[in-house]
Amino acid sequence: MISKASIDTVFETARLEEVIGDFVQLKRAGSNLKGLSPFTSERSPSFMVSPVKQIWKDFSSGKGGNVVAFLMEHEHFTYPEAIRYLAKKYNIEIEETEKTDEEKAALDQRESMFLVSEYAQKYFHDVLLNTEEGKAIGLSYFKERGFNGETIKKFGLGYSPEAWDAFSKDALGKGYQLEFLDKTGLTIVREDGRTVDRFRHRVMFPIHSMSGRVLGFGGRILTNDKKVAKYLNSPESDIYHKSKVLYGIFQAKQSIAKLDNCYLVEGYTDVIQFNQAGIENVVASSGTALTPDQIRLISRLTKNITVLFDGDAAGLRASVRGIDLILEEGMNVKVCTFPEGEDPDSFARKTAHGDLVEYLQKNAKDFIQFKATLLVDEAQNDPVKKAGLIRDMVTSISKIPDRIQREIYIQECARIMDISEQVLVSTLAQLVQKDIDEAGKKLKQETKERAFDIVRNEETQTQEKVDVLYELERKILEILLLYGFKTEEFDDIVYEANADGEIKEAKVKREAKVYERIFLSLQEDETQLANPLFRDIYNNLIAFYQQNEEFETDQYIAQLPPEFASEVTDILMVDEREQLHNWESQNIVVKLKDQTIAQYVSETILTLRWFLVDRIINDLKGEISSEPDADNSETLALAMDYYTLIGSFSKRLGRVMTRYS
């Protein structure tokens, strides 16, 4: 368990905008910061960060919360893991007691796999640096590649011994379970029960998440055995999905965001060599075909990608297909090639930092120029091949979602290929329409399939468009969050006898804090919120108000349980919400600009009371018997009393109340 003092220190020190800035490119938007959602694929920013309130809200996915909630959502951390991550980032020493055996056993499967992977990385790194075999084979290889000690440490490189089960035996001896060694793919369990290290006799490249957690490994064999794969990757697992990770993203993320550009290469050593040469904003697809998920990972940090290719012409033609995929995701693409016989690794190794930076700047071409340069020589004077090349270029342009960008590229293509712009525009329109038609067919099919999956009963069909009770209860939470600690003057109705002895209503003004007024009103009616989430947030808020002498948003958010975060931040982050369509006809109170807070509170509580009384009347109607001899007098009398109460509410609210039913 982490001590409360340590948790408080972490919250006091951590800056939300700095932490989120490690994962999402943020830009100033008034007093807030905004960026693209890290949880959904979008092209227009809907992710907002409030440095003042120290909360964030992702309007596209509905997620929100404080700095810990972000790490839990984005990195799938547990609460303690998020606290430890922040403590490490801000060099805070945390106090915690050692886990008991029961707590260790309670760690979920995913976390256990992370622990095994992180232990494996440390093991392989230690073997590389501190054993004779590791130094003679693994370290010698890395030194031959030109990697220095600092680089080896930065990327956590390692070596897996030649013995069949050296790692597995060591891990089992340390108490790690075979189940998770098997599920991470680090250990292969044979049919006879024997264990074998998957990566035996290989140099090891750990693959990290954006936050630095070890997801899996790539292992390179050092012999010339053609029967064995040169590179071997961890198998797919609950924590490692090859198509969703990029090698080097953890080491590159800050540089990518700062320089607003990402270099994309193919292999592990390309990334490492560039880093050592002083260019850190580089990641690799690890030899796999580029995927939309990988591109979206980069798009969280920058909209600009420069793809680096070696000088092999055949490889260029094969790799150029990934450019269209990048364009489809709305990214800006440039391409840079190296001289024939060179790749990013070899070129960076022999080139000084300044010369390397200059080469990349001078040779990075726009994708349209690159395609023309790559294929025009093949077409030469062959009209058919030239037509195919032009169609290929226009197909790439059609993938760009932005219409203005498409038009500019059409103009550039017409200039380079010496062809009528009108012809290209016509071809582009056909391709775009084709994509739209295909997308429409796909959407229609998906809609049809969903229709078969949905079972609609009569109750669902007749359900009200607006869940009135939900909106009223949420409105109470909103009032508590925005105005709870304010002191207001409320009108109370009292009954006094006049000189003639008649009982008359009279208004008296009483001061109270808003949260006290709401709390006492609900207590008086013996009412609790029906929505379980709202009820828990309400109780949490009231307890916080009762235990603290003032309400600071950041303090409240810091102690907020993660499961409440999304709803609370949704209220706090939206200063002006659109009024719910036709609320007045639904008898839901809408705050008007000329209303005081006291009026707003009183009307909301009265409307809630009226709604609950109306439900009681409905229940009473259901009890009335249609039998000729039935005595319904008591039920009818009770119903009339409640109708009188509704009339009282109507009078106090100053408007006629209609029935919901």
Could you please report the per-residue DSSP string of 611-646? HHHHHHHHHHHHH---STT---HHHHHHHHHHHHHH
Helix count (H) and strand count (E) of the chain?
Answer: 30, 18
CATH architecture of the domain formed by 249-431: 3-Layer(aba) Sandwich (3.40)
**For the whole prediction, is pTM greater than 0.75?**
no
Residue burial 343-355, b: 16+ Cβ < 10 Å; e: rest: bbbbbbbebeeee
Q: Are strands 282-284 and 262-265 parallel, antiparallel or unpaired?
A: parallel
Residue 253 near residue 203 (C-beta atoms within 8 A): no
pLDDT at 528 over 90: no
Percentage with pLDDT > 90 across the chain: 27
Over range 448-472, report the average pLDDT. 55
**Which has more confidence, 583 or 151?**
151
Q: CB-based contacts of 245: which residues, under 8 Å, 6+ apart?
A: 207, 209, 215, 216, 286, 294, 297
Q: At what angle do helices 321-328 and 383-398 cross, to 10 degrees?
A: 30
Sole residue written with tokens 């590791």: 134
What is the per-residue pLDDT across 105-129, written as a single tens digit (0 to 9) for each?
545 788 889 999 999 999 999 999 9
CA distance linking residue 355 with residue 482, whole number of Å: 57
Q: Which residue has the higher pLDDT, 550 or 581?
A: 550
User: What's the pLDDT score for residue 219?
Assistant: 95
| Whole-number Å distance between alpha carbons of 315 and 420 | 31
Average pLDDT over residues 449-463: 45
Q: What is the pLDDT of residue 552?
A: 78
What is the signed CA dihedral for 324, 328, 333, 338, rounded to 10 degrees?
-30
How far apart CA 243 and CA 249 sit, in angstroms, is 14
Q: Which of 409, 406, 405, 426 is nearest to 417 (CA)?
A: 409
Mean pLDDT of all residues in the chain? 81
Q: Is the pLDDT score of 603 beyond 70? A: yes
Report d(CA 566, CA 563) in Å as an integer: 7
Q: What digits encode the pLDDT tens for the residues 410-452?
A: 888 888 888 888 888 888 888 877 766 666 666 566 555 544 5
Helix segments in 340-402, DSSP class H: 344-350, 353-363, 367-379, 383-398
Centre a 10 Å sphere on the Cβ of residue 644 and count the other Cβ atoms it contains.
9
Query: Residue 459: which residues within 8 A CB-CB, separation 6 or more?
Result: none
What single DSSP character describes residue 139?
Answer: I
Q: pLDDT band at residue 576, thresholds of 50, 70 and 90?
A: very low
Between residues 325 and 105, the one the model is more confident about: 325
Q: Where are the domains of the chain?
A: 4-89, 109-239, 249-431, 468-653
| Strand pairing category for 487-497 and 27-29 | unpaired
Q: Which of 90-104, 411-425, 461-475, 623-637 has the highest mean pLDDT?
A: 411-425
At residue 509, does pLDDT exceed 60? yes
Q: CA–CA separation, 311 vs 534, rounded Å? A: 61
Q: Please answer whether residues 582 and 601 qualify as being in contact, where contact means their C-beta atoms are separated by less than 8 angstroms.
A: no
Q: pLDDT, tens digit, for every residue of 39-98?
A: 877 778 888 898 888 888 888 777 888 898 888 888 777 788 888 899 988 998 888 666
- Residue in the structure block whose two tokens are 């690159």: 370
Q: What confidence tens digit (pLDDT) does each residue in 204-253 have?
A: 999 999 888 899 999 999 888 778 888 999 999 989 999 889 999 999 98
In CATH terms, is domain 4-89 a member of 3.30.70.270? no
Instruction: Calculate Rg over the CA atoms of the chain.
Output: 33
Range in 41-50, 135-144, 364-373, 379-388 the model is least confident about: 379-388
Q: What is d(CA 127, CA 158) in angstroms, rounded to the nearest whole number? A: 7
Q: Say if strands 332-337 and 304-309 run parallel, antiparallel, or are unpaired.
A: parallel
Exposed/middle/buried for 32, CB within 10 Å: 0-12, 13-18, 19+? middle
pLDDT value for 161: 97
pLDDT given for residue 458 in this prediction: 38
Of the candidates 259, 260, 286, the residue with the CA atom closest to the CA atom of residue 272: 286
Residue type, 622: G
Q: Measure the CA–CA gap between 295 and 564, rounded to whole angstroms.
A: 32
Token pair 């391709």: residue: 431
Pairing relation of β-strands 158-160 and 64-65?
unpaired
User: Is 109-239 a domain of CATH 2.40.110.10?
Assistant: no
Q: Indicate the SS3 state at residue 197.
A: strand
| The pLDDT value given to residue 278 | 95
